[in-house]
A and B are shown apart, each in its own frame.
Chain A
């Protein structure tokens, strides 16, 4: 991991980026804070430690390339931090690199990580053993192993009357004009019948 988390011991108030406006860094701060909260990291102390780590990493990159947005840099840094941390915690066994964060978050959710170990998130120094164990044991199985069967539709012999009616109907559907004419004929026949019975 590029930056050990002991550096967060320095208070956030000492964070002074050399490049970029205060407004832009403020926006970056808010974004990281929002992202941590979206991960259910509600402990303020832990939050501010992580924010400082992330912003310091972002500030260093910003010095090298001031054209970049501090918000984007901060978001990228926290993503990178998470990828590294999840790889370490999960021991990165079965997951392709681009899916590590996804697997890690699922494990966090299933193990109730943010609630049970509120200081563990992104801490590479003192990861509780039971937390690691729980994270690695977490699995989400949407379905059991498949055991395929062939369930192909079998034709039903509808009988002579239905078959004949079916063929007629299918032919009918191909000739919309004939269908309309028959409908008109039916309507006329009904009118005639009513006329006849009321005479």
Chain B
């Protein structure tokens, strides 16, 4: 077992930091609880069951708010002092040349936009090449794509990328036959095959970008700190085009520095892993981080979906340090473009985080890791708890209104979340809560505005303040919608159900959320908001007005969701300097390159509509080079008699009828069979036209047009 060295930060000092953090959370929560209990007490002189429940919920929810606030406040303290002396990156002195070790940069992909994925890899590869340290790094594209088009395009793109950057032997491509255990399984498969060859691996997401400098710094830091198992960077959100994604990336860029500084202040070597843009020491990861299944079956049990937090906990359990290096620049990711896409991602994360409840009491985990797991659970469970709290408050108000004793009090007192309360005390609690919610944001704005250079990078002080105001207004409107989304996800997960989504009708120029999708997705929110609003108004108009910010977000969810999904509005906002980020005003070289390359890629002529759906299959069968590359990448198999008959029948059907009647499973089966692919290529070109399906005849005619120029890296 590896024991984390005490040299870096001595235990008493770390204990002091943690005591400060948890004591501040405790004091703030206690104060707020005292106010709340007093208010409830005033209603009738003693607490009823309902009031006890309300108070319990309040404590839980307020603690959650206080944790965020205290983290930000400590971050502010650290930033104001000019930074933390206890940062893992400070172990490498500026300009110090640290010998590097073999590192695999791995990018697990699953049906992603092939152009984006490979152009991202190209940019990272080139950036690393410019550091002159490329020899220490190998790149792996680990595909779990289960769509024929994606798979074939990935192969073509890989070959072209390798040709263009002389990357053969440096950039590798692996397609898994069986997509077992999703991303964690994909990474584990890589480690089983090649893990021993590398001391470190840098895990990226399909939308990650890391500069060569950042990668070199990460590996150098690992080399300097042999007791460290994981170093997690804090990727910045970039490349947002829609209003929603630009809003998110602005908020992330403006507010996150103080939160991250605060986080590092109290967690130190007990950090967390967020699944990507992090460097991992391979051997301890292989030894300790293979994940078992949880009790029960999915969605609440079974295989662990959100693997990252658990892997960090297991790494710490084994004695290896896990650090957050929020001060490393040049690490980026992209956010979801719309509210609905964001909810879809939350749905997955919710299920994964809920599973962590099993692990809260696991033996051997460190308290801070339990805390991380607990916070992950609370990130989603807090939504139904808030909803429950508000609904109980409504019932409580109804109770008070019906009671003649309190009815009189209503006229001279005001109401807060359903409580008939004396104005000064309620107001104090209200201001206190708002302070905790908004002060970190205000601090973020002040810190940026007072630094003239930094403010200019956000578009100027005026732009920062205006953008922050608009961001806060939208956040307030989105909060109740997200609350309902997450509540639904939590309940469905507990009931063992999946959530179905409306398929978007693509076709508009900027792929906005269409009205049909928005109406079907948000109708329940509107209905809930209207019923809740009307009933609360009937119970007590004063209570209705207290609730109105929550109700407004719900009732207006459709137009808000559509407006935020607009690329055109995102562009307009950029013109008006709203939500500008430093990565937009002064984009780093790598992001500029990515943007230019992608613009080139997307200029390519797309296949005609009738061929587009099965273009991957078309290329793999028809194109002599794509067919050859594909066959070369397949593993040789000895088929059984039955499978030979099955494939013979499938092949003939494909040529005579075309791929339209084929299921994805059948197409994938053919694509996985090397003999079938060789046979199909030969037969397609040998068979007289009249023997072929019309689809293939059209493909042959059209393909000549498309291949007039050599295949470039990426067709979109």
B294 adjacent to A166 (CB under 8 Å): yes
Q: Given contacts A110-B159, A149-B286, are A102 and B293 in contact (CB under 8 A)?
A: no
| Subset of 20 A-B contacts with CB under 8 Å | A38-B703, A40-B707, A71-B689, A79-B686, A102-B678, A106-B632, A112-B710, A140-B162, A140-B168, A142-B172, A144-B172, A146-B194, A147-B197, A150-B192, A153-B291, A156-B314, A156-B362, A157-B364, A158-B294, A158-B358
- Is B631 part of the binding interface, using a Cβ–Cβ cutoff of 8 Å? yes
For B34-63 the 0/1 string (1 means CB < 8 A from A) is 000000000000001110000000000000
Interface residue ranges of B679-693 to A (CB < 8 Å):
682, 685-689
A140 adjacent to B159 (CB under 8 Å): yes
Chain B's interface size range is 35 or more
| Residues of chain A whose beta carbon lies under 8 Å from any beta carbon of chain B | 27, 31, 34-35, 37-40, 42, 69, 71-72, 75-76, 79, 98-99, 101-106, 108-110, 112, 114-115, 139-163, 165-167, 169-170, 172-173, 183, 194, 196-198
B286 adjacent to A31 (CB under 8 Å): no
B358 adjacent to A38 (CB under 8 Å): no
- Is B633 part of the binding interface, using a Cβ–Cβ cutoff of 8 Å? yes
CA distance A156 to B358 in the complex (A): 10
Per a CB cutoff under 8 Å, which of A27, A75, A198 touches B686? A75
Q: Which of A103, A149, A167, A183 has the most CB of B within 10 A?
A: A149
- Is B330 part of the binding interface, using a Cβ–Cβ cutoff of 8 Å? no
- Is B659 part of the binding interface, using a Cβ–Cβ cutoff of 8 Å? no
Which 9 A-B pairs give the minimum distances between C-beta atoms?
A166-B295, A159-B361, A105-B628, A147-B196, A75-B686, A157-B363, A169-B296, A153-B292, A109-B625
B629 adjacent to A106 (CB under 8 Å): yes
B290 adjacent to A194 (CB under 8 Å): no
Q: Measured between C-beta atoms, what is the minimum distance from B652 to chain A in Å?
A: 15
Q: Measured between C-beta atoms, what is the minimum distance from B623 to chain A in Å?
A: 6
B632 adjacent to A103 (CB under 8 Å): yes
Q: Measured between C-beta atoms, what is the minimum distance from A91 to chain B in Å?
A: 18
Q: Measured between C-beta atoms, what is the minimum distance from B220 to chain A in Å?
A: 23
Interface residue ranges of B533-584 to A (CB < 8 Å):
none
B359 adjacent to A156 (CB under 8 Å): yes
A140 adjacent to B194 (CB under 8 Å): no
B168 contact set on A, CB distance < 8 A: 110, 139-141
Per a CB cutoff under 8 Å, which of B140, B197, B301, B703 touches A166? B301
A34 adjacent to B296 (CB under 8 Å): no
**With contacts A142-B633, A158-B361 known, what are 7 further pairs, Cβ within 8 A?**
A39-B624, A144-B172, A149-B196, A151-B286, A155-B292, A156-B359, A197-B395
Q: Which residue of A lies closest to B162 (CB)?
A: A140
B708 contact set on A, CB distance < 8 A: 42
- Is B643 part of the binding interface, using a Cβ–Cβ cutoff of 8 Å? no
A157 contact set on B, CB distance < 8 A: 362-364
For B138-175 the 0/1 string (1 means CB < 8 A from A) is 10100000000000000000010011000011001110
For B188-203 the 0/1 string (1 means CB < 8 A from A) is 1001111111000000
- Is B265 part of the binding interface, using a Cβ–Cβ cutoff of 8 Å? no
Q: Which residue of B lies closest to A183 (CB)?
A: B495
- Is B399 part of the binding interface, using a Cβ–Cβ cutoff of 8 Å? yes
B689 adjacent to A170 (CB under 8 Å): no
CA distance A196 to B686 in the complex (A): 80
A152 contact set on B, CB distance < 8 A: 290
Q: Given contacts A109-B625, A156-B359, are A143 and B295 in contact (CB under 8 A)?
A: no
Q: Which residue of A lies closest to B687 (CB)?
A: A72
A160 contact set on B, CB distance < 8 A: 361
Q: Measured between C-beta atoms, what is the minimum distance from B187 to chain A in Å?
A: 10
B191 adjacent to A38 (CB under 8 Å): no
B399 adjacent to A143 (CB under 8 Å): no
A79 adjacent to B682 (CB under 8 Å): yes
Q: Given contacts A143-B172, A159-B362, A197-B399, are A149 and B191 in contact (CB under 8 A)?
A: yes
B288 adjacent to A154 (CB under 8 Å): yes
CA distance A158 to B357 in the complex (A): 10
Q: Given contacts A42-B708, A197-B395, are A142 and B174 in contact (CB under 8 A)?
A: yes
Q: Given contacts A148-B192, A151-B195, are A108 and B625 in contact (CB under 8 A)?
A: yes
CA distance A101 to B632 in the complex (A): 11
Per a CB cutoff under 8 Å, which of A75, A154, A162 touches B290? A154
- Is B598 part of the binding interface, using a Cβ–Cβ cutoff of 8 Å? no
A98 contact set on B, CB distance < 8 A: 678
Q: Which residue of B lies closest to A42 (CB)?
A: B708
Q: Measured between C-beta atoms, what is the minimum distance from B177 to chain A in Å?
A: 13
B421 contact set on A, CB distance < 8 A: none
Per a CB cutoff under 8 Å, which of B192, B197, B360 touches A151? B192
Q: Measured between C-beta atoms, what is the minimum distance from A191 to chain B in Å?
A: 13
A71 contact set on B, CB distance < 8 A: 686-689
Q: Measured between C-beta atoms, what is the minimum distance from B57 to chain A in Å?
A: 14
A147 contact set on B, CB distance < 8 A: 193-197
- Is B450 part of the binding interface, using a Cβ–Cβ cutoff of 8 Å? no
- Is B489 part of the binding interface, using a Cβ–Cβ cutoff of 8 Å? no
Q: Which residue of B lies closest to A160 (CB)?
A: B361
B399 adjacent to A198 (CB under 8 Å): yes
CA distance A108 to B629 in the complex (A): 11
Q: Measured between C-beta atoms, what is the minimum distance from B537 to chain A in Å?
A: 18
Q: Measured between C-beta atoms, what is the minimum distance from B561 to chain A in Å?
A: 30
For B238-282 the 0/1 string (1 means CB < 8 A from A) is 000000000000000000000000000000000000000000000
Interface residue ranges of B373-430 to A (CB < 8 Å):
395-396, 398-399
Q: Measured between C-beta atoms, what is the minimum distance from A22 to chain B in Å?
A: 15
- Is B300 part of the binding interface, using a Cβ–Cβ cutoff of 8 Å? yes
Per a CB cutoff under 8 Å, which of A140, A166, A167, A170 touches B632? A140
CA distance A115 to B294 in the complex (A): 56
For B10-52 the 0/1 string (1 means CB < 8 A from A) is 0000000000000000000000000000000000000011100
A149 adjacent to B195 (CB under 8 Å): yes
B631 contact set on A, CB distance < 8 A: 99, 102
Per a CB cutoff under 8 Å, which of A106, A153, A197 touches B628? A106
B295 adjacent to A170 (CB under 8 Å): yes
B169 contact set on A, CB distance < 8 A: 141, 144
- Is B209 part of the binding interface, using a Cβ–Cβ cutoff of 8 Å? no
B301 adjacent to A169 (CB under 8 Å): yes
- Is B700 part of the binding interface, using a Cβ–Cβ cutoff of 8 Å? yes
- Is B6 part of the binding interface, using a Cβ–Cβ cutoff of 8 Å? no
Q: Measured between C-beta atoms, what is the minimum distance from A120 to chain B in Å?
A: 16
A34 adjacent to B291 (CB under 8 Å): no
Per a CB cutoff under 8 Å, which of B291, B295, B624 touches A38? B624
Q: Which residue of B lies closest to A196 (CB)?
A: B49
CA distance A160 to B362 in the complex (A): 9
CA distance A141 to B158 in the complex (A): 11
- Is B297 part of the binding interface, using a Cβ–Cβ cutoff of 8 Å? yes
A148 adjacent to B359 (CB under 8 Å): no
A105 adjacent to B50 (CB under 8 Å): no
- Is B704 part of the binding interface, using a Cβ–Cβ cutoff of 8 Å? yes
A143 adjacent to B632 (CB under 8 Å): no
Q: Measured between C-beta atoms, what is the minimum distance from B232 to chain A in Å?
A: 21
A155 contact set on B, CB distance < 8 A: 292
Q: Measured between C-beta atoms, what is the minimum distance from A184 to chain B in Å?
A: 13
Q: Which residue of A lies closest to B301 (CB)?
A: A169
B707 adjacent to A37 (CB under 8 Å): yes
A105 adjacent to B625 (CB under 8 Å): yes
CA distance A39 to B294 in the complex (A): 52
Q: Measured between C-beta atoms, what is the minimum distance from B298 to chain A in Å?
A: 11
Q: Which residue of A lies closest to B163 (CB)?
A: A110
Q: Measured between C-beta atoms, what is the minimum distance from B692 to chain A in Å?
A: 10
Q: Which residue of A lies closest to B282 (CB)?
A: A149
A34 adjacent to B704 (CB under 8 Å): yes
Q: Which residue of A lies closest to B701 (CB)?
A: A34
Q: Measured between C-beta atoms, what is the minimum distance from B611 to chain A in Å?
A: 15
B362 contact set on A, CB distance < 8 A: 156-159, 162
Q: Given contacts A105-B625, A106-B632, A140-B159, are A158 and B686 in contact (CB under 8 A)?
A: no
